[in-house]
C-alpha cells in the first residue's frame, strides 16, 4: 500500500516527530508500505527530511489555502497511486478537501494530536466531518473525548498513543549545557522543551521560576528551555529580565534533536495549558528523568501523580513550584518515579505499537471496513 502523509505545518514539533517516527517504523517493520510525506517547502520539517531516508515531496504554502499545495496533493496521488491520505494537522484537512473537489482523492485518515476543542463554526464542522475522513486517530482518550463533541460519526474515533522509538535514541549534542552555560555541578537543571506557542504557556514557567528563585531563595535550581522562538518570545524574555531571572532561566531557541539533551537534565518540566500527549514526556521516561507536569490533555493518562511523576493543575505556578521543591527535597522519589515510568513506556508507549495499530486502520480503510 502507499500512504501519503500531509503536513501543512512550517515549524518542527511533536506532530512532525510523529510523522517521522511512523514512517521510519513502518519502513522497518512493513517494507510493503510505501510512505510519502508532503511538507511545506523550505520549512523546518523540510530541512529535517532532507537529512533522512524518508521519501518526501514539498509544496509552497504562502497562505493557508495556497492552491499550489492542493495541486501537489493531486499530483502525488496520480503519480504514486496513493491508497490512503493520512492528514496530520487542521490546515492540511482544508487543503486536502480543496484537492478532492478537483480530483477524486483516496480516503482520508486524520490524526488529532491536541486536546483543543473543535470550534463550532459551520465551516469548521464541515471540514472535520468531511465524508472522506474514515478514521480519527486521537493521541489520548481525553483528545478522543473532546473531539467526539464535534464529530457526527463517533464510531470513527480511536485512541492511539504515539509513543517513542526505542531504537534511535542518542545522547549526542553539539555542546554540554553545564559547560556552555557554566552551570555549577551543585545546581539541578530543570529542562523544558517546546516551541514558544500559547499552548505551552511559558508564562507559567517564568512565574514558577520566580517563586523558586526569588521567593524561596533556592540557588540550587536552574531552568533551561529549548524550542523555536516566535512572536511570543520577546515578551517572555522581557518577563525574565523584569524578574531578575536572566541567570536562572536560559532560552536556547531552536536546537536540532532537542530530546538528546534530556540526559543532561535533572528533571523535565511541562507547563502546558493544552496538550495531547507531549512526546518529550515519553523521551524523559526512556532516559529515566523525573517529570513534573500540568495535568492537561492526555498527560494524566500516562502520569499518575506521586507514582511515576508529579502533576499540578494548569495556571498554578505555586503548585508547580511546590512539586519541584518536593522532588529535590526528597530525592529518594526519583528512582521510584523513573523506574515505573520506564517500565510503563516499554510495555505501552512505543512507536512499534503505534505503527502497528495505525497500519491496522489503514488496512481496514483499504478493505472497505471503515
Q: What's the pLDDT score for residue 165?
A: 87
Q: Is residue 169 part of a domain?
A: no
Residues 197-244 have pLDDT tens digits of: 999 999 999 999 999 999 999 999 999 999 999 999 999 999 999 999
Q: Is residue 333 part of a domain?
A: yes
- In DSSP notation, 57-96 reads EEE--SSTT-HHHHHHHHHHHHHHT-SEEEE-SHHHHHHH
Cβ neighbors of 24 (< 8 A, separation 6 or more) are: 52, 53, 54, 165, 168, 351
Closest CA to 95 of 75, 125, 127, 69: 69
Q: Is residue 168 part of a domain?
A: no
Q: Is residue 40 part of a domain?
A: yes
CATH of the domain at 75: 3.40.50.2000
Tell me, yes or no, whether 51 and 140 share the same domain: yes
Tell me, yes or no, whether 362 and 330 share the same domain: no
Q: Domain of 124?
A: 2-163+350-366
Q: Is residue 171 part of a domain?
A: no
Tell me, yes or no, whether 236 and 139 share the same domain: no
Q: What's the pLDDT score for residue 253?
A: 95
Q: What's the pLDDT score for residue 14?
A: 83
Tell me, yes or no, whether 101 and 139 share the same domain: yes
Query: Residue 301 in contact with residue 141, Cβ under 8 Å?
Result: yes
Q: Is residue 216 part of a domain?
A: yes
Tell me, yes or no, whether 137 and 151 share the same domain: yes
Q: Is residue 170 part of a domain?
A: no
User: Cα(318)–Cα(76) distance, rounded to whole angstroms?
Assistant: 51
Tell me, yes or no, whether 257 and 126 share the same domain: no
The sheet carrying 249-253 orders its strands as: 249-253, 221-226, 188-193, 267-270, 291-294, 310-312
Tell me, yes or no, whether 237 and 223 share the same domain: yes
Q: What's the pLDDT score for residue 321?
A: 98
Tell me, yes or no, whether 127 and 206 share the same domain: no
Residues 153-182 have pLDDT tens digits of: 999 999 999 988 888 889 999 999 999 999
- What is the domain count for the chain? 2
Closest CA to 8 of 78, 77, 62, 75: 62
Query: Residue 49 in contact with residue 38, Cβ under 8 Å?
Result: no
Tell me, yes or no, whether 277 and 155 share the same domain: no
Strands 291-294 and 310-312: parallel
β-strand partners of 35: 3
Tell me, yes or no, whether 93 and 115 share the same domain: yes
Cα distances from 181 to residues 184, 217, 222, 252, in angstroms, run 9, 21, 11, 11
Query: Residue 337 in contact with residue 345, Cβ under 8 Å?
Result: no
Tell me, yes or no, whether 143 and 245 share the same domain: no
User: Cα(312)–Cα(310) distance, rounded to whole angstroms?
Assistant: 7
Q: Which three cell numbers stand for residue 85?
A: 491520505
Please count the other Cβ atoms lying within 10 Å of the Cβ belonging to residue 113.
Answer: 24
Low-confidence residues of the chain: pLDDT under 70: 369-370
Closest CA to 123 of 142, 150, 155: 150
Cα distances from 105 to residues 72, 75, 153, in angstroms, run 12, 10, 21
Query: Residue 128 in contact with residue 349, Cβ under 8 Å?
Result: no
Query: Residue 228 in contact with residue 200, Cβ under 8 Å?
Result: no
Q: Is residue 259 part of a domain?
A: yes
Q: What's the pLDDT score for residue 370?
A: 64
Tell me, yes or no, whether 94 and 14 share the same domain: yes
Closest CA to 96 of 42, 122, 134, 44: 134
Query: Residue 225 in contact with residue 237, Cβ under 8 Å?
Result: no
Q: What's the pLDDT score for residue 123?
A: 95
Amino acid at each position: 500500500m502507499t500512504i501519503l502523509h500531509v503536513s501543512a505545518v512550517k515549524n518542527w514539533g511533536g506532530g512532525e516527530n510523529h510523522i517521522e517516527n511512523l514512517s521510519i517504523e513502518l519502513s522497518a517493520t512493513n517494507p510493503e508500505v510505501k510512505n510519502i510525506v508532503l511538507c511545506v517547502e523550505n520549512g523546518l520539517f523540510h530541512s529535517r527530511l532532507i537529512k533522512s531516508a524518508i521519501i518526501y515531496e514539498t509544496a509552497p504554502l504562502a497562505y493557508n489555502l495556497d492552491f499550489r499545495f492542493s495541486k501537489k496533493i493531486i499530483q502525488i496521488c496520480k503519480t504514486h497511486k496513493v491508497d490512503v491520505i493520512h492528514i496530520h494537522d487542521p490546515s492540511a484537512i482544508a487543503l486536502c478537501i480543496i484537492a478532492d473537489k478537483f480530483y477524486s482523492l483516496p480516503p482520508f485518515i486524520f490524526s488529532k494530536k491536541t486536546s483543543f476543542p473543535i470550534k463550532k463554526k459551520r465551516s469548521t464542522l464541515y471540514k472535520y466531518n468531511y465524508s472522506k475522513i474514515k478514521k480519527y486517530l486521537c493521541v489520548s482518550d481525553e483528545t478522543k473525548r473532546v473531539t467526539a463533541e464535534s464529530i457526527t460519526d463517533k464510531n470513527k474515533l480511536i485512541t492511539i498513543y504515539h509513543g517513542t522509538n526505542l531504537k534511535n535514541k542518542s545522547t549526542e549534542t553539539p555542546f554540554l549545557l553545564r559547560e556552555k552555560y557554566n552551570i555549577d555541578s551543585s545546581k539541578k537543571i530543570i529542562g523544558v522543551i517546546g516551541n514558544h506557542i500559547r499552548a505551552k504557556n511559558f508564562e507559567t514557567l517564568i512565574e514558577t521560576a520566580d517563586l523558586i528563585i526569588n521567593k524561596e531563595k533556592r540557588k540550587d535550581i536552574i531552568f533551561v528551555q529549548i524550542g523555536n522562538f516566535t512572536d511570543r518570545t520577546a515578551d517572555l524574555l522581557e518577563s525574565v529580565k523584569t524578574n531578575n531571572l536572566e541567570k536562572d532561566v536560559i532560552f536556547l531557541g531552536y536546537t536540532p534533536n532537542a530530546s538528546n539533551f534530556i540526559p543532561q537534565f535533572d528533571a523535565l518540566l511541562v507547563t502546558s495549558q493544552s496538550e495531547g500527549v507531549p512526546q518529550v514526556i515519553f523521551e524523559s521516561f526512556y532516559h529515566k528523568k523525573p517529570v513534573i507536569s500540568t495535568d492537561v490533555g492526555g498527560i494524566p493518562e500516562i502520569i499518575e501523580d506521586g507514582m511515576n511523576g508529579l502533576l499540578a493543575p494548569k495556571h498554578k505556578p505555586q503548585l508547580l513550584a511546590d512539586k519541584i521543591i518536593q522532588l529535590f527535597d526528597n530525592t529518594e522519589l526519583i528512582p521510584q518515579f523513573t523506574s515505573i515510568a520506564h517500565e510503563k513506556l516499554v510495555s505501552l508507549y512505543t512507536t512499534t505499537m503505534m505503527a502497528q495499530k495505525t497500519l491496522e486502520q489503514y488496512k481496514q480503510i483499504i478493505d472497505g471496513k471503515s
